[in-house]
Amino acid sequence: MENELAIAALGALAQGTRLDVFRLLVRHEPDGLAAGEIARRLDVPQNTMSAHLGILARAGLVRSERHSRSIIYRADLDGLRALTLFLVKDCCAGNAELCGPLIAELAPCC
């Protein structure tokens, strides 16, 4: 992952509504949620939600797919994985014992 893409992803998540959207979509993997349902659950106007989803999509954190009249959004787990690896790739200068607690913390959720 290039610095620019990492900055775009981190910038997209640095806003409260977008962070809430991303976390909601992660919880609803692999099925995803319709844009209107996301807006309803987070109590955000649909046109505002559309802008937030667009920012997350351009940052490589969500993807969308049309199903009939609805657009279903899903967390882009490959984008999340790339961002996470970018952030921790050089973790602790390769000292595995220092990174152990971080890996142990991540293991139960996956």
The pLDDT confidence band at residue 108, using thresholds 50, 70 and 90, is low
Cβ–Cβ < 8 Å for 21, 74 = no
Helices then strands, counting H and E runs in the chain, come out as 6, 3
How many domains does the structure of the chain reveal? 1
CATH number assigned to the domain comprising residue 51: 1.10.10.10
Give the pair of three-digit tokens for residue 99: 């990174």
The pLDDT confidence band at residue 1, using thresholds 50, 70 and 90, is confident
Range of 78's domain?
3-109
Q: What is the pLDDT of residues 35-90, one digit of tens each?
A: 999 999 999 999 999 999 999 999 999 999 998 888 999 999 999 999 988 888 77
Residue 95 in this model has a pLDDT that exceeds 90: no
Segment 15-37 shows an average pLDDT of 96
- Give the pLDDT score at 102: 74
Positions of E strands within 21-85:
33-34, 62-67, 70-75
- Give the pLDDT score at 109: 66
